[in-house]
Every structure is written in C-alpha cells, then in structure tokens.
Structure 1
Amino acid sequence: MQTIPRSALILGLAGVIPFAWGAATLLSDSLSAWGLAMLGPRFVGPYVQLFYGSVILSFMSGVLWGFATKATGGQATTGYALSVIPALWAFFMTGGGPVSAGMNLIFGFAGLLLLDWQFWRWGLAPGWWMQLRGLLTALVVACLAVGVLL
C-alpha cells in the first residue's frame, strides 16, 4: 500500500466540504437560516449537495478519462466508454425531487467507486487511489444520506 500524497488527501477532503455543509444545514435550523441569509437558497440543504454532487460526478468522469489515456487498444476503448458513465448518470438521474436525486447520487458515487477500483486494478490509477476514493466515497455517501433520510 502506498501512502496517499498529503496534497491529494487535503484537497480531496476539502472537496467533501459542500456535502458536509449541506448535511449540517439539514441538521441545524439555525445554521440553515444563517446560510440562507448569507449565501442564498442554492447553497444550503439538499440543493448544495445535489448540484455539487452532479459537478463532482462529472469531474470524476474526466479523471477516469485521464486514466484511460494510459491504456491501449481495447482496454483504452473500454476505459473511455466507462469514464463517461458518472457524468451521464449525474445528467440523467438527478432530476425529480431531492430524495430521489439524493438516492441516485448515492448510487452514482457507489458506482463510481467500482469504476475507480477497475481502473486501479488495471494499473491505470495510482497505487494509493483506492485508499483515497474509499475514504471520500464513505464521507460523501454519509452526507448525502442525511439529505435522503431527513
């Protein structure tokens, strides 16, 4: 096992902040009221989680595409095809209400973890990749679950 580079870990954890903020504003009425007054309705509760979650799934499609560039032949073709799934999932599956969109984001991040594992197994992702992705996925899914279960 390789150690996660400090910068990747810090930036990855920073990327969880909007999910955690959304969960916190769902759990605290006073924090939600403050966020609503200071930031606006798009940046509290499930709204920040759902919008940001769609952005991150799309971003991760780009990361996987980058990994696919390391492959050749049929593996490259498969990698490119798999890499677009998270973005398409976000585009097609986050409509509807906040509960169904939140559930679909949870499924999307779980599916992304499987794709991460496959790219890692192929040797296209860094050795430490699954340690980072496992941690970040667990945190994101926990935050999204607050929005789905409340």
Structure 2
Amino acid sequence: MSNDNEDLLDKGKQNNTKVKEERKEGEPTSAFKGASWAALLIGVTSYLIGLYNANMQLNEKGYYFAVLVFGLYSAISLQKAVRDKDEGIPVTNIYYGISWFALIVSISLMAIGLFNAGSIVLSEKGFYGMAFVLSLFAAITVQKNIRDTQRSREKD
C-alpha cells in the first residue's frame, strides 16, 4: 500500500515540475534581457513624448531628435568596436577613433543644446539629459545582450 502512495506522490511531483529552459553559458538571463529592452523603450519613448509635447520650434525638435539618433548609433558602434577589439576581431584604428569621436560629439551636442536652450526650463533640461543617457546606456546593453546570446548559441 505504501508503494502505491509513493508512486502517486512521484507522479504528482512530475506533473507539478515546470520544464526550465536551459540557458547557455555566457547567455544573459531573460530578466536581464527584458530589463534592458524595457530601459531602452522607456528612455526613447519618454524622450520622444517629451519632445513631441515640447513648446519649441520644429527645427529645435529636429535637432534634439537627430542628436538622439546620432547618440544611439554612435554608442552601439563604439560598443561593437570595443568588444571586437577585446575578442581579437580586427578593428581599424580609424574606425575605433571615429566611434569614440562620434559618441563624444553626440553627448557634447546634447549638453551644448540643453545649456543654450533658453525656452526650456531647468527641470525639462534634466529630463532630456536623463532620458538621453538612459537611452544610450540601454542601447549598449541591448546590443551586448544580443551579441552574448548569439555567441553562446554558436558554441554548440
């Protein structure tokens, strides 16, 4: 009789156990990937909503939009160049230097634009600055996660 009870308990345990997907070595967790994507979407969406609702001329809005796109691209490009160099993948010094230069220029353009923006109150300047930095950091993290996931799956 006790064997029957043990068999029933074993079957119950088997039915209640969840199948956990195996994560490859070096692959980021799903939670980290999700948090990175969420940070990117929140940063970019907040920035764009703020820009859409801003009381500034269209050419000013275009400037801040272009700086965001330039900043995102330059941050991802620099992350890729740094990672390639670290992994022994050939990267020319000119591309590496231009990647650094582009990121510095994009951050400088944002800082100079906000510093000189007389029509934007200080709290809005802080909002744009923080949304910009969040977006850059999140873009780098998302790109890193994609690359780590791809690399871990190629090992098999």
- Normalising to structure 1: TM-score of the pair? 0.34
TM-score by length of 2: 0.33
Asked which structure has the greater RCO (Cα within 8 Å, sep 6+), the reply is 2
